Amino acid sequence: MRVNYHTHTVLCGHARGTEEEYVKAAVEGGMEILGFSEHCTYLMHPHATDKPCLTLQQLPEHIRAIRAAGEKYRDSIRVHAGMEVEYFPETFAELANILRDQGVEYLLLGQHFLDSPLGQRTRNEIYDPAILTHYCDQVIEGMQTGAFTYVAHPDCILFLGDRGLLKQQLRRICREAKACGLPLEINLLGIHKQKHYPCTEYFELLAEEGNTVIFGADAHQPERFLNYEAETKGKALVEQYGLHLVETVPFRRF
Protein backbone atom coordinates (compact mmCIF):
# COMPACT_ATOMS: atom_id res chain seq x y z
CA MET A 1 0.00 0.00 0.00
CA ARG A 2 1.16 3.50 -0.69
CA VAL A 3 -1.02 5.06 2.03
CA ASN A 4 -2.59 3.66 5.20
CA TYR A 5 -4.20 5.54 8.07
CA HIS A 6 -5.35 2.54 10.10
CA THR A 7 -2.58 1.07 12.27
CA HIS A 8 -2.45 -0.32 15.81
CA THR A 9 0.52 -1.10 18.07
CA VAL A 10 1.34 -3.27 21.06
CA LEU A 11 -0.14 -0.56 23.27
CA CYS A 12 -3.75 -1.52 22.54
CA GLY A 13 -3.17 -4.85 24.24
CA HIS A 14 -4.16 -7.08 21.33
CA ALA A 15 -1.55 -6.22 18.68
CA ARG A 16 2.17 -6.75 18.24
CA GLY A 17 4.95 -4.30 17.41
CA THR A 18 6.22 -0.90 18.49
CA GLU A 19 5.61 2.33 16.64
CA GLU A 20 9.07 2.15 15.10
CA GLU A 21 8.62 -1.46 13.97
CA TYR A 22 5.48 -0.46 12.05
CA VAL A 23 7.22 2.50 10.44
CA LYS A 24 10.18 0.32 9.46
CA ALA A 25 7.90 -2.36 7.95
CA ALA A 26 5.88 0.31 6.14
CA VAL A 27 9.08 1.69 4.57
CA GLU A 28 10.16 -1.81 3.57
CA GLY A 29 6.75 -2.36 1.99
CA GLY A 30 7.06 0.84 -0.04
CA MET A 31 4.52 2.91 1.90
CA GLU A 32 4.73 6.68 1.59
CA ILE A 33 2.17 7.85 4.15
CA LEU A 34 1.50 5.97 7.40
CA GLY A 35 -1.03 6.94 10.04
CA PHE A 36 -1.35 5.38 13.48
CA SER A 37 -4.87 4.93 14.82
CA GLU A 38 -4.67 3.19 18.15
CA HIS A 39 -7.86 2.24 19.97
CA CYS A 40 -8.25 5.04 22.40
CA THR A 41 -9.29 5.01 26.00
CA TYR A 42 -13.02 5.34 26.47
CA LEU A 43 -12.67 8.01 29.15
CA MET A 44 -15.54 6.63 31.18
CA HIS A 45 -14.98 3.20 32.73
CA PRO A 46 -11.58 2.76 31.04
CA HIS A 47 -11.08 -0.66 32.59
CA ALA A 48 -14.62 -1.92 32.35
CA THR A 49 -14.34 -3.65 29.00
CA ASP A 50 -12.68 -6.87 27.91
CA LYS A 51 -11.32 -4.98 24.92
CA PRO A 52 -8.16 -3.25 26.08
CA CYS A 53 -7.04 0.07 24.68
CA LEU A 54 -4.50 2.84 24.98
CA THR A 55 -4.87 4.80 28.21
CA LEU A 56 -4.52 8.55 28.55
CA GLN A 57 -1.41 7.92 30.67
CA GLN A 58 0.21 6.13 27.73
CA LEU A 59 -0.78 8.74 25.17
CA PRO A 60 2.12 11.25 25.49
CA GLU A 61 4.75 8.52 25.15
CA HIS A 62 2.85 7.01 22.20
CA ILE A 63 2.78 10.36 20.38
CA ARG A 64 6.46 10.91 21.17
CA ALA A 65 7.38 7.47 19.79
CA ILE A 66 5.39 8.11 16.58
CA ARG A 67 7.14 11.45 16.08
CA ALA A 68 10.57 9.93 16.77
CA ALA A 69 10.02 7.08 14.30
CA GLY A 70 8.69 9.52 11.72
CA GLU A 71 11.77 11.67 12.17
CA LYS A 72 14.12 8.70 11.85
CA TYR A 73 12.59 7.61 8.54
CA ARG A 74 11.64 11.07 7.29
CA ASP A 75 13.42 10.65 3.96
CA SER A 76 11.27 7.63 3.09
CA ILE A 77 7.84 8.14 4.62
CA ARG A 78 5.46 10.64 6.19
CA VAL A 79 4.08 9.50 9.55
CA HIS A 80 0.94 10.78 11.30
CA ALA A 81 -0.54 10.32 14.76
CA GLY A 82 -4.24 9.55 14.64
CA MET A 83 -6.64 7.62 16.86
CA GLU A 84 -9.49 5.15 16.33
CA VAL A 85 -12.25 6.44 18.55
CA GLU A 86 -15.71 5.26 19.55
CA TYR A 87 -18.49 7.80 19.31
CA PHE A 88 -20.05 7.88 22.76
CA PRO A 89 -22.30 10.96 22.86
CA GLU A 90 -21.74 11.69 26.57
CA THR A 91 -17.95 11.85 26.54
CA PHE A 92 -16.89 12.39 22.95
CA ALA A 93 -16.38 16.16 23.08
CA GLU A 94 -14.24 15.96 26.20
CA LEU A 95 -12.13 13.12 24.82
CA ALA A 96 -11.66 14.88 21.48
CA ASN A 97 -10.37 17.97 23.28
CA ILE A 98 -7.84 15.92 25.22
CA LEU A 99 -6.63 14.08 22.11
CA ARG A 100 -6.25 17.29 20.14
CA ASP A 101 -4.31 18.96 22.96
CA GLN A 102 -1.95 15.97 23.07
CA GLY A 103 -1.10 16.33 19.39
CA VAL A 104 -3.41 13.76 17.77
CA GLU A 105 -3.85 14.82 14.15
CA TYR A 106 -6.95 12.91 13.05
CA LEU A 107 -9.70 10.61 14.29
CA LEU A 108 -11.17 7.50 12.70
CA LEU A 109 -14.64 6.52 13.79
CA GLY A 110 -14.62 2.89 14.91
CA GLN A 111 -17.84 1.87 16.65
CA HIS A 112 -17.15 -1.36 18.55
CA PHE A 113 -19.59 -0.62 21.39
CA LEU A 114 -22.84 1.29 21.67
CA ASP A 115 -23.35 4.20 24.09
CA SER A 116 -20.42 3.35 26.35
CA PRO A 117 -17.75 0.70 26.88
CA LEU A 118 -20.32 -1.09 29.03
CA GLY A 119 -22.85 -1.07 26.22
CA GLN A 120 -23.66 -3.57 23.49
CA ARG A 121 -20.57 -4.87 21.72
CA THR A 122 -21.18 -4.57 17.99
CA ARG A 123 -19.17 -7.66 17.09
CA ASN A 124 -21.26 -9.95 19.26
CA GLU A 125 -24.11 -11.80 17.56
CA ILE A 126 -27.04 -9.42 17.19
CA TYR A 127 -30.55 -10.45 16.14
CA ASP A 128 -32.55 -7.49 17.43
CA PRO A 129 -33.30 -4.96 14.64
CA ALA A 130 -33.55 -2.20 17.26
CA ILE A 131 -29.87 -2.69 18.11
CA LEU A 132 -28.95 -2.50 14.43
CA THR A 133 -30.89 0.74 14.09
CA HIS A 134 -29.24 2.10 17.21
CA TYR A 135 -25.80 1.23 15.84
CA CYS A 136 -26.52 3.10 12.60
CA ASP A 137 -27.93 6.08 14.52
CA GLN A 138 -24.77 6.29 16.60
CA VAL A 139 -22.40 6.07 13.61
CA ILE A 140 -24.45 8.71 11.78
CA GLU A 141 -24.40 11.00 14.81
CA GLY A 142 -20.65 10.49 15.03
CA MET A 143 -20.17 11.48 11.39
CA GLN A 144 -22.32 14.55 11.96
CA THR A 145 -19.92 15.87 14.61
CA GLY A 146 -17.58 16.68 11.72
CA ALA A 147 -14.66 15.46 13.83
CA PHE A 148 -13.91 12.23 12.00
CA THR A 149 -11.63 11.94 8.98
CA TYR A 150 -13.21 8.67 7.88
CA VAL A 151 -15.32 5.79 9.14
CA ALA A 152 -13.51 2.51 9.82
CA HIS A 153 -15.37 -0.72 9.04
CA PRO A 154 -18.89 0.85 8.96
CA ASP A 155 -20.34 -2.64 8.44
CA CYS A 156 -18.62 -4.26 11.46
CA ILE A 157 -21.91 -4.93 13.26
CA LEU A 158 -22.55 -8.67 13.44
CA PHE A 159 -26.26 -8.57 12.65
CA LEU A 160 -27.59 -12.06 11.99
CA GLY A 161 -31.19 -11.12 11.24
CA ASP A 162 -32.72 -10.32 7.86
CA ARG A 163 -30.06 -9.28 5.29
CA GLY A 164 -32.50 -6.93 3.58
CA LEU A 165 -32.94 -5.07 6.82
CA LEU A 166 -29.19 -4.92 7.32
CA LYS A 167 -28.78 -3.40 3.89
CA GLN A 168 -31.60 -0.94 4.46
CA GLN A 169 -29.98 0.30 7.68
CA LEU A 170 -26.41 0.40 6.36
CA ARG A 171 -27.71 2.45 3.45
CA ARG A 172 -28.44 5.25 5.93
CA ILE A 173 -24.75 5.28 6.91
CA CYS A 174 -23.66 5.33 3.26
CA ARG A 175 -25.97 8.22 2.44
CA GLU A 176 -24.89 10.27 5.45
CA ALA A 177 -21.21 9.65 4.68
CA LYS A 178 -21.79 10.97 1.21
CA ALA A 179 -23.65 14.00 2.56
CA CYS A 180 -20.77 14.66 4.98
CA GLY A 181 -18.14 14.11 2.28
CA LEU A 182 -16.54 11.31 4.28
CA PRO A 183 -14.87 8.26 2.75
CA LEU A 184 -15.95 4.86 4.03
CA GLU A 185 -13.32 2.25 4.70
CA ILE A 186 -12.84 -1.07 3.04
CA ASN A 187 -11.23 -2.86 5.94
CA LEU A 188 -8.37 -5.00 4.70
CA LEU A 189 -8.03 -6.82 8.02
CA GLY A 190 -11.58 -8.07 7.52
CA ILE A 191 -10.60 -9.33 4.07
CA HIS A 192 -7.31 -10.76 5.37
CA LYS A 193 -8.98 -12.65 8.22
CA GLN A 194 -12.20 -13.41 6.33
CA LYS A 195 -14.28 -11.73 9.02
CA HIS A 196 -18.01 -11.02 8.62
CA TYR A 197 -17.05 -7.64 7.15
CA PRO A 198 -16.70 -6.16 4.60
CA CYS A 199 -19.94 -7.88 3.54
CA THR A 200 -21.53 -8.23 0.12
CA GLU A 201 -24.42 -5.89 0.97
CA TYR A 202 -21.89 -3.22 1.92
CA PHE A 203 -20.13 -3.42 -1.45
CA GLU A 204 -23.49 -3.27 -3.21
CA LEU A 205 -24.42 -0.16 -1.23
CA LEU A 206 -21.10 1.57 -1.91
CA ALA A 207 -21.79 1.09 -5.60
CA GLU A 208 -25.47 2.02 -5.45
CA GLU A 209 -24.91 5.16 -3.38
CA GLY A 210 -21.71 6.20 -5.13
CA ASN A 211 -19.64 6.48 -1.98
CA THR A 212 -15.97 7.32 -1.88
CA VAL A 213 -13.99 4.45 -0.37
CA ILE A 214 -10.54 4.14 1.17
CA PHE A 215 -8.47 1.11 2.16
CA GLY A 216 -7.53 0.68 5.80
CA ALA A 217 -4.99 -2.02 6.69
CA ASP A 218 -6.17 -2.12 10.33
CA ALA A 219 -2.69 -3.55 10.94
CA HIS A 220 -2.15 -5.39 14.21
CA GLN A 221 1.26 -6.80 13.18
CA PRO A 222 4.05 -4.88 11.38
CA GLU A 223 4.47 -7.62 8.77
CA ARG A 224 0.98 -6.90 7.47
CA PHE A 225 2.70 -4.12 5.47
CA LEU A 226 4.80 -6.71 3.66
CA ASN A 227 1.84 -8.81 2.52
CA TYR A 228 -0.20 -7.45 -0.40
CA GLU A 229 -2.77 -10.25 -0.62
CA ALA A 230 -5.65 -8.42 1.09
CA GLU A 231 -4.97 -5.24 -0.88
CA THR A 232 -5.01 -7.19 -4.14
CA LYS A 233 -8.34 -8.78 -3.19
CA GLY A 234 -9.66 -5.35 -2.15
CA LYS A 235 -8.64 -3.84 -5.49
CA ALA A 236 -10.42 -6.64 -7.34
CA LEU A 237 -13.61 -5.90 -5.37
CA VAL A 238 -13.29 -2.17 -6.07
CA GLU A 239 -13.04 -2.99 -9.75
CA GLN A 240 -15.87 -5.55 -9.64
CA TYR A 241 -18.27 -3.06 -8.04
CA GLY A 242 -16.93 -0.02 -9.88
CA LEU A 243 -16.17 1.90 -6.68
CA HIS A 244 -14.55 5.29 -6.32
CA LEU A 245 -11.34 4.61 -4.38
CA VAL A 246 -9.16 7.36 -2.91
CA GLU A 247 -5.70 6.84 -1.48
CA THR A 248 -5.38 9.94 0.67
CA VAL A 249 -7.88 11.99 2.66
CA PRO A 250 -7.54 15.46 4.18
CA PHE A 251 -7.63 15.38 7.99
CA ARG A 252 -10.71 16.87 9.62
CA ARG A 253 -10.12 19.33 12.42
CA PHE A 254 -11.71 18.33 15.69
Which residues are at the interface with Zn ion (CB under 5 A)? Answer: 84, 110, 218
Give Cβ neighbours of residue 44 (< 8 Å, ≥ 6 apart). 88, 90, 91, 116, 117
Q: Is 158 or 207 the residue whose CB approaches Zn ion more closely?
A: 158
Q: What are phi and psi of 223, to 5 degrees?
A: -70, -10
133 near 170, Cβ under 8 Å? Answer: no
Q: Is 37 or 211 the residue whose CB approaches Zn ion more closely?
A: 37
Nearest-approach distance from CB 75 to Zn ion, in angstroms: 28
Polymer length of the chain: 254
Q: Is 72 or 195 the residue whose CB approaches Zn ion more closely?
A: 195
Nearest-approach distance from CB 201 to Zn ion, in angstroms: 19
Q: Closest CB to Zn ion belongs to which residue?
A: 110
Q: Is 23 or 156 the residue whose CB approaches Zn ion more closely?
A: 156
Q: Is 84 or 155 the residue whose CB approaches Zn ion more closely?
A: 84
Give Cβ neighbours of residue 115 (< 8 Å, ≥ 6 apart). 88, 89, 138
Instruction: Report CA 66 to chain centroid distance, whole Å.
Output: 18
What is the pairing mode between strands 33-39 and 78-85? parallel
Q: Is 76 or 115 the residue whose CB approaches Zn ion more closely?
A: 115
